[in-house]
Structure 1
Amino acid sequence: MVKFLHPGITLLLLMLWQSTWHASWADTSIPPSYHWGRGISWPDADFNLGGYVNVSYQHPEKPANQLKLDELSLFLTWSPHHRIRFFSEIEVDDWLSTRQSDSFSHALRAERLYVDLLASETTTVRLGKFLTPIGRWNIIHAAPLIWTTTRPLVTDETLFSPHLNGIMLTQRFQLNEHNLDVSIYSDHSARLDIFDSSTTGFGSAFGGRVNFELSETSQIGLSFIDFNTEVSPNADRNDLLGVDFLWKKDSYEVSAEAIYRHASDSQGQEQGFYLQGIAPLAGHVFAIGRYEYLNGTHHFITTDTHVGVAGLAWRPFVPLVFKVEYRFGAQNEPIAPSGFFTSISMFF
């Protein structure tokens, strides 16, 4: 967590605000407007300001209950040129809680801060701080877009950092009218991540991701990353391989992710997966079921951990979702305690 908003971020936001303010009022053909769930837009300045909020209540069997403001995120997007797009996500994370509240300055951090350079319609270069492209859950990221309050164990930040700081090249190909996206990236968070003092971040890393569109309803992805951690830069490097799958049709959905992480020293290895299914019920209510498995020696217990999640999600409006679920399992208490979890998430 950062203890203050870095002066570079502040200066950048002020410059973007000033330029978009003058540009928007210099040409008033399309005035600024607000749309719920999509934020405030200045079309003439190619500027958008939005975000989301997530409030959760946890009632595990152990430890005590907790009501907290999980996330309050502010999105800022600016496109000064059709081939350049700036994006930032400034977030207040785990700020207010009935168990233990944090100071605002310590909870504030730059979740994402990057620029996309569109070299062509199919080639993009990304520079800055962005989400680690491993699997699907970590890329989707925003609470209103995911189905459950809790996240699968194989996507947890103790296995890999959710952020990269560096450069990524993405190229899209067409194979028999199906999209094939290939991304390669390099990270040096130990020197470049000046906005976050988290001890779970990468020291350095390189890797890639391939996502193939099997059909209009299904996709499959492969991910690989070689990394060391900022907290143990002299330890052996880790190799992590991931496979993921997504199928969606008529509001039904099946998704899965599997990972294998290995290091030659005492960090050992992890392996695990999750399988999740979504089925629509009446009145914008969806049933959710998920099974998870994890075994490893790095951050977790060495026995097999099994976790089940059963829940409901109600989406009365597109930007708003109410979630409730019960989590249970075997050998799961140290890392994913059983109990009830509920949350309210909304784009604004």
Structure 2
Amino acid sequence: MHLINKFCIGSVALLLLLCKTAYAEDAPRPEKGFMDGFRLGGYTSAGITIPRESETTATINEISMILTWEGESRFKFFSELELENPISWDDDNKFNTKQSYIDLERFYLDYNLSDKINLRGGRFLTPTGRWNQLHASPLVWTSSRPVATSRLFPTAANGMMAFGAIPLDNSAIEYSIFVETLKDIDEDDDDLKFRNTKGARIAFGQQANIGVNIMSFDERNVFNTRYHMLGLDFITNHRGIEFLGEAFQRWDTHNNTSGYGAYLQTAVPLPVGQNWFGIIRLETFHRPDEGHQQRWLIGTTWRMKPTQLLKLELTGGSDDQPESPRGFLASFAVLF
């Protein structure tokens, strides 16, 4: 009898425990508050430049803060505020902040209209090629940027964009259609000035992903000309070697060639250490007001961690560009 009582008491206790567990599993989870959807991150890089024809400089290149929000609704928010060149050093000026400025890189709101259509409004990077969309220092192989990706077309726009992906067999076609609706209020004197930008992009393929871009825009210069541009790009991997390339061709309203540019880059795993890669890049570039340039780059990059890169490179060819001087460059980039 005593044994039966113990069995009954144990059974009741077990049932109560199971009921409590089931209740806890069935109980609704507390809803996330509005503030729970915010995430803060960013990236930074610093480097040293030893140009062929000017003095050595050491610079914190940028400090970029990224704030995002994603809740349980169809809306998403993204912003990137960048402090460019916050501090530099050279032999003449020592430590200085002469080249520092704040740039609102991105600030937009996304709305998920359906599985295949998303809408974006605000300031965003134009979806032109590949480098322009993923140009953050920890996400690219080199310290210097290919000239063609910054001197031929508007790299950002204030406006509206529709984008998404359409399933196709085992892959998908990604698309973007955008139009500028508000001109830049604050412009640097050295920046190329573009207006009335609109364009589209599609990308497809798995083993080799190929992108096609079309764009039209006004460039505010001595000619104040309307341009149309076609762009092609690709990225693929073969036996661990990455191949990346982009090409752009511009025409004016009279169908005259008015600038072009292209580059081909490879990243090859090196048989020394861990996560060392050899980088080779060839470039060609032409603008009517800047002439024709040909450039080359050879270097190595150490992926110390997935979020940390050490880059060493030697650049040569014709003429210098602010983002790509000829000479030796070394930099360290970190994503946080």
TM-score range, shorter chain: 0.7 to 0.9
- The yes-or-no answer on 1:94 pairing with 2:81 is no
One-letter code aligned to 1:140 = L
Instruction: Give 5+ residue unaligned stretches, structure 2.
Output: 1-28
> Residue 338 of structure 1 is aligned with which of 317, 320, 326?
326
* Residue in structure 2 matched with residue 68 of structure 1 by the alignment: 59
Q: Distance in 2 between matches of 1:77 and 1:201?
A: 29
**Aligned 8 A contact 2:77 2:108 in 1:** yes
- The CA deviation string for residues 97-124 of structure 1, in whole angstroms up to 9 with x for no partner, is 12464469x6112110001101122211
The AA in structure 2 aligned to 1:206 is: K
2:160 is matched with which residue? 167
| Unmatched tracts of structure 1, length 5 or more | 1-27, 32-41
CA 44–187 in structure 1, closer or farther in 2 if over 3 Å, else same: closer
Residues 278 and 288 of structure 1 are in contact (CA less than 8 Å); yes or no, is this contact kept in structure 2? yes
| Distance (whole Å) between structure 2 residues aligned to residue 270 and residue 79 of structure 1 | 41
CA distance in 2, matches of 1:276, 1:293: 12
Which residue of the other structure, out of 228, 244, 253, is the alignment partner of 2:218? 228
| Secondary structure at the counterpart of residue 148 of structure 1 | coil
Query: Is 2:113 aligned against 1:126?
Result: no
Q: Counterpart of 1:82 in 2: which secondary structure? A: coil
Structure 1 residue 284, shift from structure 2 partner: 1.0
Distance 1:328-1:233 versus aligned 2 partners, 3 A rule: closer
Q: The residue matched to 2:88 in structure 1 has which SS? A: coil
Which residue is equivalent to 1:6?
Answer: none
Task: From the CA coordinates, give the structure whose radius of gyration is larger.
Answer: 2
2:293 paired with 1:309: no
- Read off the aligned partner of 2:142 and give its amino acid letter: T
Change (3 A) 1:249 1:53: same
Contact 1:53-1:347 within 8 A present in 2 as well: yes
Output the CA distance in 2 between the equivalents of 1:204 and 1:122. 27
Secondary structure class of the residue paired with 2:138: helix
Counterparts in 2 of 1:333 and 1:233: CA distance versus 1, 3 Å? closer
In the alignment, which residue of structure 1 is the partner of 2:266?
Answer: 277
User: What SS class does the counterpart of residue 71 from structure 2 fall into?
Assistant: strand
2:213 match: secondary structure: strand
What is the match of residue 135 of structure 2? Answer: 141
Q: 1:209 aligns with which of 201, 208, 211?
A: 201
Are positions 1:107 and 2:101 aligned together? yes
- Secondary structure of residue in 2 paired with 1:95: strand
- Residues 271-300 of structure 1, C-alpha deviation per residue, up to 9 Å, x if partnerless? 2210000111231111101111123313x2
CA distance in 1, matches of 2:79, 2:132: 17
Task: Pick from 252, 269, 281 the counterpart of residue 263 of structure 1.
Answer: 252
CA distance change for structure 1 residues 176 and 325 in 2, over 3 Å: closer, same or farther? same
Letter in 2 for 1:77: T
Letter in 1 for 2:252: A
The answer to whether the Cα contact below 8 Å between 1:30 and 1:44 also exists between their aligned partners in 2 is no
Q: 1:105-164, CA deviations, whole angstroms, 9 ceiling, x for partnerless residues?
A: x611211000110112221111000111111000012110000001111112x3222111
**Structure-2 residue corresponding to 1:290:** 281
1:246 to 210, 231, 235: 235
The amino acid that maps onto 1:241 is: L
Asked whether the 8 Å contact 1:252–1:278 carries over to 2, the reply is yes
The change in CA–CA distance for 1:77 and 1:250 in structure 2 (over 3 A counts) is farther
SS of the equivalent of 1:154 reads helix
Deviates more, 1:252-261 or 1:232-241: 232-241
How many residues of Structure 1 are paired with residues of Structure 2 in the alignment?
Answer: 298
Which residue identity does 2:251 align to in structure 1?
H
